[in-house]
Structure 1
Amino acid sequence: MTASSPCITGWNHSQFGKLDGIDPEALIGQVAKAAIEHAGLTPEDIGSIHIGTFNGGFLYQDFPSSLVFNTLPALRFKPAVRVENACATGSAAIHSGMQSILSGQARHALVIGFEKMTELATPQVGEVLLKCCYAKEEAGIPGGFAGVFGKIAQAYFDRYGDQSDALAAIAAKNHKNGMSNPYAHMRKDFGFDFCRNVSEKNPFVAGPLKRTDCSLISDGAAALVLSAADAAKTMQRAVTFRAAVHVNDFLPLSRRDPTRFEAGALAWQQALKQADLKLLDLSLVETHDCFTIAELLEYEAMGLAEPGQGARAILDGVTAKNGRLPINPSGGLKSKGHPVGATGVSMHVMAAMQASHDAGDMQIPNARYAGVFNMGGAAVANYVSILERVH
């Protein structure tokens, strides 16, 4: 990106969790209103609206692009669009908002990500999420999307040996980090031993993955305001995109090596080149730990470890909050929760907070560059952003 890249100038984040009795429409309105106010703007200043939600059957109400008008009627008649790219839906909505600004359509774009997943029972949630796989070959995998990643984990174990210690260490790290995140669904430090050992409360779910290896079924919303670079100069805060990259891969796992996130690796290579940085120049990364095996493979995709060596990054403390490259200081999806459409926006909000030194107890000291990796499916849609505070 360049000096003319759009900037994040305001944000808001709801509590993630099982949000009983909260109307999704009201949730969208709350985060939108608060994000606009955080940017020091009014609804009249917004030029376009970009709403990310997967839905896929979580809610009967679809076609959400105009729902925010009910809370903020001053947005009426603004162009609004719904964006979807599986678990990377939130990042897709951000890219849609950036294009709106870069094209000249808008000077300020409102981006909202949301999902209300807990209206359905867990087996039904699994069925909805399986729509993110290649249905012709993968829809019958037992265990829902956990089953897909269970197969990936088993393939990795078969090739490189048992990685249970590494997966447990990732889960324990992220739950410990989540203790400092006021928005997290589960603020509980389970410790390594609980995450490592099978028990009645931590049974196997799919393949070698236990319950503590799987992200939570959550409700939640996050919103941010994107502003043109020249407009951002006079605003209270501005976090720019030093890089913003999107790479897609084949949908069927059968056409890819399941133990390597090749498109994710390509996205990281392109983003670091675009940002003119090396990986260890980053102060932190918020990465897509929908399952602990995903975070392990993402260490390798980002270049933190060679293929098959991802365990070293976690077991040697490299990715700890006080390590050389803290990964998921927010607690990640594992602790924070994973409301599908909200996740990508949430990750960017967390990274923008870090770059702005506004992350409270989550803050990484002297953070300058914050990386984000958000993926849809098993590394099918891959988004990498590198954020830097302008002022």
Structure 2
Amino acid sequence: MSDYLGIIVIVAVVAVLAVGGLFLLFRPKGGGAPTLPPPEAPPAPEAERPAPPKEVAEEGGPTTTLPPPARPVEVVKVPEVEVPPPSAGRMVRLRARLARSQNALGRGLLELLSRDHLDDEVWDEIEETLITADVGVGPTRAIVEELRTRVKVLGSRTPEEARALLRELLLAQVGPDMDRTLHVTPHGERPAVVLVVGVNGTGKTTTTGKLARALIGDGKQVLLGAADTFRAAAADQLQTWGDRVGAEVVRKDEGADPASVAFDAVARGIEKKVDVVIVDTAGRLHTKTGLMDELGKVKRVIEKKATVDEVLLVLDATTGQNGMRQAQVFAEVVNITGIALTKLDGTAKGGIVISVQRELGVPVKLVGLGEGPDDLAPFDPEVFVDAILGDEKPGGDQKSA
């Protein structure tokens, strides 16, 4: 009996152990050492945190959870390339601006010439009016002498006759027969090269940009050379002009050799087969010999690659006779082929057109008649003289060539 009880105890112990083993084998995971939760990610910046879900309760219905709104995608807008208008007829369209600034000269001369009796005092006033308008002493004397002779022949004069007489003589002094062609025709696979020169503050870089616009408006492919490496903003300014009309700009770091920039611009122009390369140079004081010599170097280096077809001297028309002295010094260093007169619509005295042409023997080819990007115009002698005399024609300011 005792043996039978011992067997029962042993079986019971084995059964308990078996049940315990099964419990350990099939118990839920997580026993033993507690598992630490994963570290929380740092909070996202305010701008990057997704918006919380939005709950919307429909009327009489359950609440609907909407997904967070998507973050707006930032779109970088590339500025569109502008298509400038052609240069033809610009001066006719801008004539009213010219008339407003120059009409005082014409009115004064016409009033004096229309007097019944022209004595020496009146002739002195006519001469003074012309000189004050920056016509220059030599041209003024020529005009007054011719006027005296014509008036003696005419005798009595109507206002119309006085206007016609003055128009004829002023037009002769402005030079309607001068060749004002801008030489921008490429030579086979080599582009035409335009070198823009002048003293500080005359508007060279702006004129360069406006000229590029005008040529592109005429259907030409233009490349710009930023050879003004002394002024930090010059290359950036020219880059802005180029970007607006799709013209490539060759530039280097501030302080780079201007001749090197000019050479590279022409080389790039040949490679790209453009029609015209316009090189903007640094402003130079006409009294500084070293700077003027460097300008001559820029021109010589360009000529190793291509012909310099135009050397445009940019003059501020408001500087008057001081601008004449600047022009003479530049003409001694480089062969000036044309003048670009800026600010002719402001306080400038239009006689500077006559005097600068007479002194240099080169024509005024371009005039700046406003602040707008398309306010650079090919110079038209007849439009200029008519604006001075205030000879308004019907629709004159709107007429285009």
TM-score class, shorter-chain normalisation, is under 0.3
TM-score, scaled to structure 2:
0.23
Of structures 1 and 2, the larger Rg is shown by: 2
Query: Which is strand-richer, 1 or 2?
Result: 1
Query: Which is helix-richer, 1 or 2?
Result: 2
**Greater RCO (CA < 8 Å, at least 6 residues apart):** 1
